[in-house]
Structure 1
Amino acid sequence: MASFRTESSSVTPIHPRDQAGASIDLLGLLEKGRLLCVSGQFDEIPQHLDYIKTFELEPICAVMLETLQLYPNANNGHLQDSQRLQRLSDLLELAKVLDSKLAQAWAWELMQLLQNNLLLHHAALHSNAMAVELFEQCDRKREAFTTKVSRCLIMVPCEMYREVIEMGEQLLREREHLDPVALCNILRSSASANYFLGIETDGDQHQQFLQTALSLHEECLRIAKGYQIHKFELISHTNIAIINAYLGRREPTTYHLLKIEGMQVNANKVNPSWGYWLRFCEALLLCESPEFERGWEALIALDLELRKLDLSTAAVHDSVLRKIISYGRRWHYLEIALDASLALAELNSKRRRLLSQTLSATVEDIMSLPRLVQKNQELSQQGHQLEASLARQNAELNNTLEQLRAEANIRKKAEYALHQAHAKLEQQIQARTQELEAAMDVVMRQEKQLALGRLVVGIAHEMNTPLGNALMAASTMDDYCQQLSADLSGTSLKRSQLQISLHALHEGNRLLRRALDVASNLVQRFRALAIEQHTETIQNFDLQGLCAGVVADWQKRFQERQAELSMYSDTAVRIRSYPNALTQVLEQILENCLFHGLTSGELARVELHLYQHGQEIELQVSDNGNGIAQDHLGRLFEPFFSRQLGQGGMGLGLSIAHSLITDLMRGHITIANRPEGGTCVTIRIPTDSETSFKL
């Protein structure tokens, strides 16, 4: 968080100490709380303000803290906006007595927000001007500039459209002082002003105002996307859809409506009338299509529904009525158009009456200033009374301490009872642990049976093909032998017939031998699953040299597939382990990378890194290929698990590699997806597998 300048004339920085003795900047904490409130990050506000309450505050800081607690959704949901406004007026007067311009600026800033919520727009403009002036006197130029931006949002419901456009242009010329949220607020305020001017005019000005509003909303959408301000993304998509619907542009309207569909969860929080705007756009699209009658009926139904609601939906109702008048004249529904004109006049009359009421409330606020002066004098007297009450409170604190001591004795007795309950709970936990261990034994037996079943099914599946081929070849050879015997016992045997029979027998024998070779190879692979079948003798060897030899052997195969294979090692490493087994593991991993992991392309590459960490060696083989599906990662080392089972893949390579590393070499092997793409196989083995085995 950036450091904040203090207001030397009115606020004295307070630096209490935390439990570790470090200095705490309370004004900085209060400034951070104000930023959370102004930006609408209400989820973080209650916890932050509760933390500030743990410190002893001087009067000015206490006033500023209570001001922040009056923000909507700042853990005070039981208060109405009118009640907050009344309490805020008292805090403003107290800030004047304490001569703190910064505290007054914060109060005027919040008063502007509450008055705007209560539709007291003209009073909100006055509060806004007071906040700007006080921020400038405190040399808080950025806060003053941001407060000016909020003035545009207040002027739009006051129908000061041309003033909003003029002020927006002035502020945008100094956009380097604006943060993304403030910039979006200016753009959407100016766009709203142009939109309302556009729907109130005809001819070329109508198109010009709407086109300007569309451009401003599109710029706001680009900024909101760039800074991931989802609230303004939703608002911009909605407004762009509305303006395009007004202009009769079907494709962009449909595009932005579809964009809004994925953001419906937070739509009502942003604008309660959002759903009515979407229905209005859909009705306009139908009115400009061959199904104009359905669009007309949708507009009439929407008008009837909006007439039953309050002025919170006045903007969308105004647009609906204007379109009913326009289409009614075009399609000769003159009675309906006349009724809509009367309804529009009544709606505008209600809005004017509301503005008159807010103006009257503003006048009443001004008339109450003399009473406020009197209250200032009363507050001065109350200050002296507060000093006297502090002495009384000290005495009360002493009595409270005595009560706390008594409560401490009660707590000791409660702790003793809790200790006994804890011992009883420990016994229950031990009993439950024994039950859980018994249940785990049952689960382990079931898992072993399941794994055995998978193993049997896999072996049967793989052995079925070569044994079936051998059986077919033997059966065919038997048929030819019987035919040859029959020919020999006949009266004559042609040379060609004998050659055909011998050729068939030869082919059958070749097929039989091939099938038996495949079966024999499978048996050898199956035997490799049992680590005790590995008869290699442990040896001392250069691991770096072994890895370099494996990489050199595979270089040509990688080059044929337009892939790059590289090795990186800082120093020579000698270990005592099983070189042939480790070579088999590395070749299996490289084969998987080459034929399953890499994608076709010029940038396909595999890297082998060799590290030494004390008495442990780490080998990393990483690629930039496709990666592995998340639901497959946990099954890679299972026997017969392969996405190409029955297509040349047996699913035994990684299972054998896992057995060699973990059981024979007493190491570890893991496979994970890399964040930047591809996979990474990590192997960790001890420098002396024999010693590790004994340990």
Structure 2
Amino acid sequence: MLPDNFDRITNALQSPHLLLTNKGIIVSFNSRAKYIFPLLKQTSSMVHISELLNESPDKIERLLKMWSRTQTPLPSSLIFHEQNESSSTYRCNGSAIRSSANNHQPLIMLQCNNKEQSTAIFATLNLKIEQLKHEIKERRYTEQQILLLNKNLEQSINERTAELQHKNQELNRFLAELKSAQDQIIRSERLASLGGMVAGVAHEINNPVGVCLTASSHLTQQVSFYQTLYHQDKLTRNDLERFLQTASKSSAIIESNLNRAASQIGRFKQLAVDQSNDEARIINVKKYLTELLLSLQPYFENTSHTWNIICDKALTIETYPGAIGQIITNLISNSMTHGLVDIDNGKIEIEIIQNKGLIQFHYKDNGIGIPLHDRPKVFDPFFTTKRNQGGSGLGMNIVYNLVTGKLGGNISIENKQSKGAYFVFTIPESLQQNIVC
């Protein structure tokens, strides 16, 4: 395979290249060799290298043995017959090529260069070698200076290492304090959202309780009135029928509104449990978010803003409901505080999409949106545009930490709508899954 490709590979080279057996038979050559040595183009049979040389057979045999034993090129000066029948001395570099199919019979690649050119090349190489020697000498001197400097610096390094270790201990202590402070802030935020939830539930309970109180007062007055008629022996059959109708209606109103209040209290109880602990459970997503939004009704008081949840009614997931509640609460608070200020008929939409074991929450509002230059900093701690109005800058950072840490997901700001804020956070459908962020 090698002889067949040898001439094709070496034809682009300007110097003669010959491929020999270790016995000196030329098996291939390039175009330059054919041009310089006339014998190669005059015959189609194999040629021995000695037929191109004006050298003694002993010298040729010695060089062939030397070249066939080495993997590295070994130079030797040889006198060749050229095309004009003159003789020229060439500097030849020969080295053995041992193919896997012919381990014991190496081929010799012979590269021939004009001796005058070779001499110039070697003169240049000698100059480079001298320069290299000088550089090596300077480098050794430099290394000695470095070793001396290292000895002097060793004590300083040890002292610096001890100082760094001490600072590292201080840093670890500071990080522990920072983590404790962060946990305290998260707990405070959770209690704050729980307080908002309490206000929402109080608002929701206030109406049915007020109706019950009114119906009960009316029923008490009617009872007193008809008792008076009874004691005065003035109670007629029609009076009794009217009293029974009034009592029946009032009882129905009281029962209906008490059931409504009990339902609100039951919902608040579960939401409060979710907000106050970190236990995981299986939830119906739409039902949970609907109850959560109802409990956050105070955010929408005295506004024309509305909310909508788009979700499969049957979708259930295993997750940490308290974390999801905190995330949605903070996003709504962010919309109300920043996005929907001075906006009429604001809309908040939460769309939940299930895809290949992952749950995507698409949160959108139609507010003023987030400026492009602020978007990379939205999730940074303490970043806020409302600092002079009491903003802490921790709400969105808590959202980021809950999504990526507690829920094992990821969150991003989308650019798919021209108006308003658009957040997408993705979490596993089950706690057994992980998302690569």
Which structure's residues are more often helix, by fraction? Answer: 1
Q: TM-score, with normalisation over the residues of structure 1?
A: 0.24
Q: Computing the radius of gyration over CA atoms, which structure comes out larger, 1 or 2?
A: 2
- Indicate the structure whose relative CO is greater, using CA pairs within 8 Å and at least 6 residues apart: 2
Q: TM-score, with normalisation over the residues of structure 2?
A: 0.35
